[in-house]
Amino acid sequence: MFTFLLAVAIFLGGVFIFRQIVVKGKECTSQVNLHGKTVIVTGSNTGIGKTTAIDLAKRGARVILACRSKQRGESALEEVKRVTGNNQVVFMQLDLGSLKSVRSFAETFLKTEPRLDILINNAGIYMQGKTQDGLGMMFGVNHIGHFLLTNLLLDRLKQCGPSRIVNLSSMAHNLGKIDFECLTTQKALGLGTSFKEVFQIYSDSKLCNVLFTHELAKRLQGTQVTCFSLHPGAINTELARNTGSVVQLVLSPVTAFFFKNAIQGCQTTLHCALQQGIEPLSGRYFSNCTVRDVYPKAKDDAVAKKLWELSENLSGLA
């Protein structure tokens, strides 16, 4: 009996340590005050985007909640204001699946807001389909929408330097690949609909985020704008809301135990946005508030440049 109880105690102790160290992870330690600074957080009506916005608003920033849904965005706006006591929080509608919407958002922002100090490209989607412009949904929303938005706002970021751009990727980028033939002919990273195929396309879109950041850093050399990509951790949020109900049911006990909550999940985002002294690491990839090495494919200069040029064409910048 004693041996059994000892084994149970050791198991529970291991579980506690695992959750505290591996699941919970590190916290952003920056105490930076953001009074007088303006931040955009895309997809900030829910999940880690909303908790990121709340933290930044608590620091005194003027926070722009850039969200697709007007109803959910305005609901999040009231919550962020109530929780933080900061009235310098604004909702602006942004549909990353529409290049017209991205351009409209940027035009309105540049006309009404004199500053931009931090751009956090947080929004992401996990589902197949096509955007309004005929792009693959995950390629269009997870990459092209943010690519266009960033480029349209770059001059303002440069004017307000030192400033930062934070691109949320995922460790899934390690499984990604860039099929330029499919991108050229189909304007999509892939065309499958099975679970394996959809996850592959999601991974491909996350590799696009890392390659975009790599190339962007090179183009920003000599400016006071730095950029970072990151893996926020496995997060128990609404990213998988577009998966089937069976998949969600199977995953729910796993995500409840092994995945971070939204507050834990936004810590690396905050680290990349706020931590002083990481400017020389511009273009690098972070996980658990720590800079990480990536596979050669995620820092391939030729592939990153080719993706940038294709993205310029598809977004109408070229």
Please tell me the predicted confidence (pLDDT) of residue 90: 98
Range of weakest confidence among 10-19, 151-160, 187-196? 10-19
In a domain, 252, yes or no: no
In a domain, 225, yes or no: yes
Q: Does residue 98 or residue 19 have the better pLDDT?
A: 98
In a domain, 17, yes or no: no
Residue 177 has pLDDT above 90, yes or no: yes
Say what angle helices 99-112 and 145-159 make with each other, to 10 degrees: 20
For range 159-188, the mean pLDDT = 97
To the question of pTM greater than 0.85 for the whole model, the response is: yes
Report percent pLDDT > 70 for the chain.
Answer: 85
- 202 a catalytic residue: yes
Range of weakest confidence among 24-28, 31-35, 86-90? 24-28
Please tell me the predicted confidence (pLDDT) of residue 268: 98
In a domain, 304, yes or no: yes
- CB-count exposure of residue 114 (10 Å: 0-12, 13-18, 19+): exposed
Catalytic one among 126, 202, 285, 295? Answer: 202
Whether the CB-CB separation of 268 and 234 falls below 8 Å is answered with no
In a domain, 143, yes or no: yes
Number of structural domains, the chain?
1
Strand order in the sheet with 285-287: 89-93, 62-67, 38-42, 118-121, 163-168, 225-231, 285-287, 290-292
Please tell me the predicted confidence (pLDDT) of residue 20: 47
In a domain, 2, yes or no: no
Please tell me the predicted confidence (pLDDT) of residue 234: 81
18, two tokens: 């695992």
Q: Does residue 258 or residue 254 have the better pLDDT?
A: 258
At 190-232, the pLDDT tens digits run 999 999 999 999 999 999 999 999 999 999 999 999 999 999 9
Please tell me the predicted confidence (pLDDT) of residue 25: 84
CA distance 180 to 189: 8
- The CATH number given to whatever domain includes residue 211 is 3.40.50.720
In a domain, 69, yes or no: yes
In a domain, 308, yes or no: yes
Residue 21 has pLDDT above 60, yes or no: no
Structural domain for 197, as ranges: 29-234+267-315
Nearest to 235 by CA among 287, 298, 284: 287
Residue 311 has pLDDT above 80, yes or no: yes
At 47-81, the pLDDT tens digits run 999 999 999 999 999 999 999 999 999 999 999 99
